Copies of this chain bind each other. A is one copy, B any other.
Amino acid sequence: MVVTGTTRRVDKHRAILDAALDVFARQGYADTNLDEVAEVAGVAKPTIYNHFGDKAGLFAAVVETSSQDANARVADVIAATSTNPEDLRAELETLARSLVHCLQGGAGSATMRLQLVEGARFPELISRVRDGNRDRTLDLLAGKLAQLAATGHLRLRDPGRAARQLMALVSDEPLVNSGFGARPVDPAVVDRAVTEGVDTFLAAFAPEPAPES
């Protein structure tokens, strides 16, 4: 077995990032002390300083890394959506449910909470990362919706607007219900928001009147 030269160092680097994401998201930047991050990561505190410089440096790295990860997950979900589905409603519900879980459940929840809560403390970093994430997500989603329009499944004049509104309809209620990330997302709430949100979306944007509305 061949172990590459920096494998172990990468392990610790990643372990610190993972631990920090968890602790920062739960407690916020101010209430997070690096003794605790070190303990969760299984390293010594000076090791964190060796890798990341200082607390703010660690935070910035966590935000960047976790947001890139979230981006990749979202892109996968949108790419996996068919542009010629047999059941459009079901396809959109699956897409929407997956998006909400990517953004608000599991690792996405921690990422979202950092972006949401610490915008005042790190305005440039958070704006750049969060707005970049959102723009990218909406672009990809708008692209997919435009394809659905091209194949006659939807009637859109502005795919960007449709993307924004679909996101709003399906994500607002779960977000509020979770206390903006302070509580775990309730899958039942997501399901309801998705079902109702897609229903309203189709009532507004489907070519023919939606069967239910």
Q: In the complex, are the beta carbons of A197 and B31 less than 8 A apart? A: no
* A176 in the interface (beta carbon within 8 A): yes
User: Which of A37-45, A50-58, A91-99, A166-174 faces chain B?
Assistant: A166-174
Whether A172 contacts B168 in the complex (CB less than 8 A), given A120-B26, A179-B127, comes out as: yes
Type the 1/0 row for A143-183, where 1 means its CB is closer than 8 Å to any CB of B.
00000000000000000010011011101110010011111
Residues of B near A4 (CB, < 8 A) are none
Partner of A126, one of B179, B201, B213: B179
* A106 in the interface (beta carbon within 8 A): no
* A134 in the interface (beta carbon within 8 A): yes
Q: How far is the CA of A173 from the CA of B180 in the complex (A)?
A: 15
A residues 26-71 near B (Cβ < 8 Å) are 26-28, 30-31
Q: In the complex, are the beta carbons of A180 and B119 less than 8 A apart? A: yes
* A121 in the interface (beta carbon within 8 A): yes
Partner of A28, one of B121, B164, B172: B121
* A123 in the interface (beta carbon within 8 A): yes
Residues of B near A123 (CB, < 8 A) are 179, 182-183
Nearest-Cβ distance from residue A198 to partner chain B, whole angstroms: 11
Residue of B nearest to A178 (CB): B119
* A18 in the interface (beta carbon within 8 A): no
Q: In the complex, are the beta carbons of B167 and A120 less than 8 A apart? A: no
Partner of A169, one of B26, B31, B130, B165: B165
Partner of A116, one of B116, B161, B213: B116
Q: How far is the CA of A39 from the CA of B25 in the complex (A)?
A: 32
Which A residues lie at the B interface, using CB under 8 A? 26-28, 30-31, 116-117, 119-121, 123, 126-127, 130, 134, 161, 164-165, 167-169, 171-173, 176, 179-183, 196-197, 200-201, 203-205, 213
